[in-house]
Structure 1
Amino acid sequence: MPPISVNRRRFLGCSAAASLAISQAAAEAAATDGSGATVRVGLVGVGNRGTGLLRALLELPGVAVPVVCDAEPKHRLRGQGIAEKALGRRPDAVGDPRHLIDRDDVDAVVVAVPCDLHEAIGSDAIRAGKHLYAEKPLALSVPGCDRLIHESARRPDLAVHVGFQRRSNPRFREGLERIRGGEIGPLIEARATWTSSNGPLSGHGGWLGRRERSGDFMIEQAVHIWDVLHWLQGGPPAKAEGWGRRRLFARQDPGRDVTDHYAVELEWPDGFRASFLQSWVAPADDGFTGSSLRILGEDGGLDLSTGSLSFRDRQRPRQAIHPGPQNDTRLALRDFLASIRSERRLPPPVTLAEARDATLTGLLVRKAVDERRPVTMEEILDGTAGA
């Protein structure tokens, strides 16, 4: 395969990264100068992910939480208790998102609900004039993404961010900048895994195990991987080929229809390739479980999971890029709050168009795995994958 050159797409990616670096600096200034106004945030969804978002918000200065929302009473009580302990005031609790979105004492809405609800709740929040932080994916279909993008375009005064928090992670930010700077030479491929022995992962009420609600793991979870690869390459792949297995947990959940083990190979127009394995049926052994994302070039490689930058030249010592755990959820929420407080909206870490690309790639992978054949992005854009 010929070496991958710095083409127009990658050049534009570098330009976008430079703009993001400026906005990140502004976010850091807004977070530390102590002059930011209090932002009143309502949480829609305080299950596992929503609770993590709530705790991260409460670590940031200048945040009030007047109300939490969840269909499940025990989740509402948990959210109220966490907020009261941190802020000294017990928030109200409601079961209907509209009852939160319509409140005058809510400036911004943070949404962590099953994926099939993302589009409707996000659109309602934007139409109500609320800043929006929505968990990924943007939506489960291309038309759904487009409708949300249209709603956001009508309200440029609002900050609308999507929860691809790796875009705010300093390890990923510096690592991709150094790759673009040529430190590992012309790129060859990426290899990623996301394997666990904790299956079946089902979610509250079993929603994660139903493709109609989650979009399957290629859209609900792996969009994080797709987004990093898009970030690296300046856009989504041209085609995919894969295979997978369903009904691996049929005894526990006969109605489960998601793909609990699959592998896919992606290819970009310039020849760059990426392979990905995701599984919930791994043995309980460190040799089989864990997540990784490694980028290989002709002169070296970067392990984004650990921050290890290594070289083929043995005279060059291995380097560590921002080692240790990174609370990138808190960093992503910090960026969201900084944009709200700014006189002019700061560019989000990931645009809605880029979030749409992640859904597109999820649909591409899902179709390739379902049909066990090469599938092109043109097929997805032509609508052959369905909604």
Structure 2
Amino acid sequence: MPPIRLNRRHFLGCSAAAGWAISQGRDVEGALNLPPVRVGLIGLGNRGTALLRSALDLPEAEVVALCDLEERHRRRAQGIAEKARGRRPDDYDDPAALLARDDVEAVLVAVPNCWHITYDASALLAGKHLYAEKPLGLTLRECDALIAEADRRPEQVVHVGFQRRSNPRFREGVELIRSGELGTPLEARASWTSSNGPVDGHNGWLGSREQSGDWMMEQGVHVWDWLHWIAGGPPARAFGTGRRDVFADLRPGRDVTDHYSVTLEWPDGFHASFVHSWVDPADDAFTGISQRVVGTAGGFDFGTGTATFRDRSIPRRALHPGNLPDTRFALSAFLLAIRSAEPVPPPVTLTEARNATLTALLVRKAVDERRVVTRAEIEQAEA
């Protein structure tokens, strides 16, 4: 199979980061004429397979190696790659063997959350560029350890899979809020509700708090990062309540919080409410993801990309409506950063990724103890 050549229109069209970099005067043109980045994947479950499909859709990537403990996962992934590119990547059941390959430049890691620190750190120690799935770590200590490893290797690109940061609708929506067009931000209203519970994951890891960190960590970090992005940092306090026993009859050993709600508050008075549930009726009126911000002059719906104003003479505005491949945008930004002649800031910094873990810990404690918990409590406990 001949080498894949980068197509400038596709490259810049797929990457929100590319347009941003060019607008800042960053030199990315040299990256467009270089060969694709040789990529390996560690973890080929649901998320790893989604990353694989997105990477195969990008001419900036050449997938050369795959790793998973399960042979059936490896065979499935090889089949997907062969159908897309006409070639089967090499497969491994040991991550160390993949990381030992000198020709693997970058690694995408999508393993259960409890293994993030192990495999992410191993990739950095092996000299690979790293696309780490969220959360960055299950504790602040894990996050700090990985940040320290990355700081010792500034030449290695490290991105974290908060793909909404690369989604042009989210990027422009946040810019709209920060511009003041919606007035002073008052509150955010969000929900992530499904009828598909209980969701277990491979070998039940999603039903185990020790392995997943609970849903506040596994999924909720996307929402916390979105809120930080809007508010400029993590909240000062939270109050929540929830249930960890809703699937006790079906899964006696399950210990994650499959239904909870939380209120978050920032020092300037901005606040947010969030409902997270796996027990809703199978009806579109109950299920789905909703993320909205209300200000004194209007509101923005990140799901539809619609800005609506209190002044009814101002027409509604739509920003990038419809489904957008934000994982593909995020991977394209990662590959651009590797090939760019100059450093390109990541869509989300490692400190911002750490803050998402911090807020997950804050929310989890607030829900567990059904009381107001402050950020300072979490920071002191994790120190």
TM-score by length of structure 1 reads: 0.92
Asked if the contact 1:27–1:338 (Cα under 8 Å) also holds between the matched residues in 2, the reply is no
Is 1:255–2:253 an aligned residue pair? yes
Q: Which amino acid aligns with 2:169?
A: R
Map Cα deviations across residues 251-294 of structure 1 (whole Å, 9 max, x no partner): 22111000000000000011100000000000111111111001
| Mapping 1:218-367, distance limit 5 Å | 218-367=216-365
Map Cα deviations across residues 175-199 of structure 1 (whole Å, 9 max, x no partner): 1101111111011100000000011
Map Cα deviations across residues 331-385 of structure 1 (whole Å, 9 max, x no partner): 00000000000122210000000000000000000000000000000000001xx
- SS for the counterpart of 1:23 is helix
- The CA deviation at 1:85 is 1.6
Asked if the contact 2:21–2:28 (Cα under 8 Å) also holds between the matched residues in 1, the reply is no
- Aligned CA-pair RMSD: 1.9
Q: Which amino acid aligns with 1:181?
A: S
Asked if the contact 1:27–1:334 (Cα under 8 Å) also holds between the matched residues in 2, the reply is no
Assess, with a 3 A threshold, how the Cα gap between structure 1 residues 20 and 65 changes in structure 2: closer, same or farther. closer
Assess, with a 3 A threshold, how the Cα gap between structure 1 residues 20 and 89 changes in structure 2: closer, same or farther. closer
* Aligned twin of 1:54: 52
Is 1:101–2:82 an aligned residue pair? no
Asked if the contact 1:31–1:338 (Cα under 8 Å) also holds between the matched residues in 2, the reply is no
* Aligned twin of 1:12: none
Assess, with a 3 A threshold, how the Cα gap between structure 1 residues 25 and 120 changes in structure 2: closer, same or farther. farther
- The CA deviation at 1:245 is 0.3
- SS for the counterpart of 2:323 is coil
Assess, with a 3 A threshold, how the Cα gap between structure 1 residues 245 and 344 changes in structure 2: closer, same or farther. same
Q: Which runs of 4+ in 1 moved over 2 A?
A: 19-34
Q: Which amino acid aligns with 2:299?
A: G
* Aligned twin of 1:380: 378
- Structure 1 CA distance for aligned equivalents of residues 337 and 351 of structure 2: 18
Asked if the contact 2:36–2:60 (Cα under 8 Å) also holds between the matched residues in 1, the reply is yes
Assess, with a 3 A threshold, how the Cα gap between structure 1 residues 280 and 172 changes in structure 2: closer, same or farther. same
Asked if the contact 1:116–1:213 (Cα under 8 Å) also holds between the matched residues in 2, the reply is yes
Assess, with a 3 A threshold, how the Cα gap between structure 1 residues 95 and 173 changes in structure 2: closer, same or farther. same
Asked if the contact 2:117–2:136 (Cα under 8 Å) also holds between the matched residues in 1, the reply is yes
| Mapping 1:125-144, distance limit 5 Å | 125-144=123-142
Q: Which amino acid aligns with 2:88?
A: R
Q: Which amino acid aligns with 2:304?
A: T
% identical equivalent positions: 61
* Aligned twin of 2:61: 63
Gaps of 5+ in 2: 1-16
- Structure 1 CA distance for aligned equivalents of residues 368 and 236 of structure 2: 18
- The CA deviation at 1:95 is 1.1
Q: Which amino acid aligns with 2:198?
A: P
Number of equivalences: 367
Asked if the contact 1:158–1:345 (Cα under 8 Å) also holds between the matched residues in 2, the reply is no
* Aligned twin of 1:4: none
Asked if the contact 2:27–2:342 (Cα under 8 Å) also holds between the matched residues in 1, the reply is no
Asked if the contact 1:40–1:64 (Cα under 8 Å) also holds between the matched residues in 2, the reply is yes
- Structure 1 CA distance for aligned equivalents of residues 207 and 352 of structure 2: 26
